[in-house]
Structure 1
Amino acid sequence: MLVETREISVLGKEDCGIVDITEMVSKEVKSSKIRNGTVTVFCVGSTGAVSTMEFEPNLSKDVSETLDKLIPLDKDYHHHKIWGDYNGGSHLRALLVGPSFMVPFVEKRPTLGTWQQIVCINFDRLERTRKIVLQIIGEF
Structure 2
Amino acid sequence: MWHTCDLTLKPHPRGFHLITREVVAALPELSTLRVGLLHVFIRHTSASLTLSENASPEVRRDFERYFNHAVPERWREYEHTLEGDDDMPAHIKAALLGPSLTLPILGGRLHLGTWQGIYLCEHRDRGGARTLTLTLQGEQEVRTASSPK
TM interval, shorter chain, is: 0.7 to 0.9
Identity %: 24
Aligned to 1:123: 123
Aligned to 2:19: 21
Q: How does 1:45-64 map to 2 (within 5 A)?
A: 45-55=44-54, 56-64=56-64
Deviates more, 1:101-110 or 1:24-33: 24-33
TM-score by length of 1: 0.87
Shift of 1:29: 4.1
Aligned to 1:69: 69
Aligned to 1:109: 109
**CA RMSD of the aligned region, Å?**
1.7
Residues of 2 paired with 1:85 and 1:107: CA distance? 46
TM-score by length of 2: 0.82
Residues of 1 paired with 2:34 and 2:8: CA distance? 24
Confirm or deny that 1:135 pairs with 2:130.
Answer: no
Aligned to 1:8: 7
Shift of 1:27: 2.9
Shift of 1:19: 1.9
Shift of 1:30: 4.1
Q: Does the CA-based 8 Å contact 1:30-1:108 persist in structure 2?
A: no
Structure showing greater Rg: 2
Q: Does the CA-based 8 Å contact 1:12-1:121 persist in structure 2?
A: no
Q: Structure 2 unaligned runs (5+)?
A: 141-149
Q: Give the 4+ runs in structure 1 shifted more than 6 A.
A: none
Aligned to 2:145: none
Residues of 2 paired with 1:21 and 1:121: CA distance? 10
